[in-house]
A and B are shown apart, each in its own frame.
Chain A
């Protein structure tokens, strides 16, 4: 499990890579912690780019649930985007698609928040 991060305007795009199984969930939680600190009403929004995520276990989803609860509590925003087919289905079956917005692409996710082109790259516009 690896977590890439990239900032675009006030949006932090977090890209978990590989598999978040029961063993890796804790590392995912630790890697996520500093970004959660920054996510509140006046701070950064968190958009998870799931395109490189091959598998997520219930323990990994629990980490996302805690992150969602935390960001909601402080008025922040969290969404996910671009899940692979399998992960997209897992989000539906677990009902996590009701927990946070699931966007088809990172660009869709950015647009849904800002409508603002500032965070989009030229080819996403």
Chain B
């Protein structure tokens, strides 16, 4: 309702002779009016090499609800017979980070291989628990794909299908892990569900090292700083402002604000993005300029 009203107001009496004309005008409106940040829970694909119709090796972080549309795209690209491999890195097993898995169509197709990596020892149990009665009509063991689980060691670089992957322990209920991916000369860090206490320079340094020189940092920016250090202290999430500061200290190039507060509407998320950019500008001083983007469902970036 608010968006329709804002669009009509912005049109300011303009006349559109057909829907096409109205549509092309709509593309000129701010994203928070013309589009939406969406509401899928965490799932990020890292495309190492461009996929074709032939079998492909995919890299994913987390299996939140966003993996469902991803799975549909994979099937649209390859059909149901090309055997694909999916390397999946799980931050932690809170439900919003694994809930998309039962709806990930490729896991039903024989020939596909899912290699699920994480640092929690009970990783497999969490996946099995959400399949089957009473949570889901299909049992885990009925899935057609080959599914294997691997335990990674934090602070150790693992070589996985040509990519160097380093996990780090993060502060979150039940622990979570961030992942630093290095391939050729590109560095991507996926760090969600991660609180930063800000009470020990050594802890800050440790994380700055983890983000060092990253081309892209996908960062838990759920709360405002004031909330994160007061009423929502120990809730296991961070803020846009801490994301900017850590990226500045680390010399990172691009910060993606991720894991938005679910109660925020599009206008509010757009405001957080604008404020984060402003914060970066006024505090830049000696730091390299940092690009900032609020994540939305379907966002694609090239490094």
How many Å lie between the Cα of A58 and that of B198 in the bound state? 7
Contact B279 A93 (CB under 8 A): yes
**By the criterion CB–CB under 8 Å, are B199 and A58 in contact?**
no
Please count how many residues in chain B sit with their CB below 8 Å of the partner chain's CB atoms. Answer: 23
| B155 proximal to A (CB < 8 A) | no
Residues on the B chain within 8 Å of A69, using CB: 230
Interface with B: A4-12, A18-26, A38-46, A104-112, which one? A18-26
**Partner of B199 from A59, A93, A98 at Cβ < 8 Å:** A59
B225–A96 touching, CB < 8 Å = yes
Q: Is the CB of B201 within 8 A of A93?
A: no
Q: Which residue of A lies closest to B249 (CB)?
A: A22
- Given A22-B204, A23-B201, residue A94 in contact with residue B225 (CB < 8 A): yes
Q: Most B CB atoms within 10 A — which of A62, A69, A93, A98?
A: A93
Query: In the complex, are the beta carbons of A93 and B227 less than 8 A apart?
Result: no
A94 near B199 with CB under 8 A, answer no
> A59 touching B204 by the CB < 8 A rule?
yes
Given A25-B198, A58-B198, A86-B283, residue A93 in contact with residue B230 (CB < 8 A): no
Contact of B283 among A26, A55, A62, A99 (CB under 8 A): A55
- B245: chain A residues within 8 A (beta carbon): 22, 57-58
Is A90 located at the chain interface by the 8 A CB criterion? yes
Question: Which of B196, B226, B282 touches A65 (beta carbons < 8 Å)?
Answer: B226
Q: A95–B201 contact, CB under 8 A? A: no
Which B residues are in CB contact (< 8 Å) with A57?
245
Closest CB in chain B relative to A68 CB, distance in Å? 8
Chain A residues positioned under 8 Å from B224 (CB to CB): 94-95
CB-based contact A95/B226 at 8 Å? yes
Q: In the complex, A69→B229 CA distance in Å?
A: 11
CA distance A59 to B229 in the complex (A): 10
Q: In residues 251-295 of chain B, which contact A (Cβ within 8 Å)?
A: 275-276, 278-279, 282-283, 285
- In the complex, whether B239 has a CB less than 8 A from a CB of chain A is yes
The verdict on B241 contacting chain A, using a C-beta distance below 8 Å, is yes
CA distance A65 to B204 in the complex (A): 18
**Cβ contact of A58, chosen from B241, B276, B278, B285, cutoff 8 A:** B241
| Least CB distance, B246 to chain A, in whole angstroms | 9
B226 A26 Cβ-Cβ under 8 A: no
B204 touching A94, Cβ below 8 Å: no
> Is A61 close to B, CB under 8 A?
yes
CB-defined contacts of A86 to chain B, threshold 8 Å: 282-283
Complex contact B198–A93 (CB within 8 A)? no
Chain A residue contacts of B196, Cβ below 8 A? 58
Q: How far is the CB of A34 from chain B (nearest CB, A)?
A: 19
A89 within 8 A of B: yes
Measured between alpha carbons, how far is A55 from B245 in the docked complex, in Å?
12
On whether the beta carbons of A62 and B198 are closer than 8 Å, the reply is yes
The answer for the CA separation of A57 and B204 in the assembled complex, in Å, is 12
CB distance from B147 to the nearest CB of A (A): 40
Q: Could you list 19 further interchain pairs (A-B, Cβ under 8 angstroms) beyond the known A59-B204, A65-B230, A94-B224?
A: A22-B204, A26-B201, A55-B283, A58-B196, A58-B229, A58-B245, A59-B201, A62-B229, A65-B226, A86-B282, A86-B283, A90-B279, A93-B276, A93-B279, A94-B241, A95-B224, A95-B227, A96-B225, A96-B226
A residues contacting B by CB (< 8 A) are 22-23, 25-26, 55, 57-59, 61-62, 65, 69, 86, 89-90, 93-96, 98-99
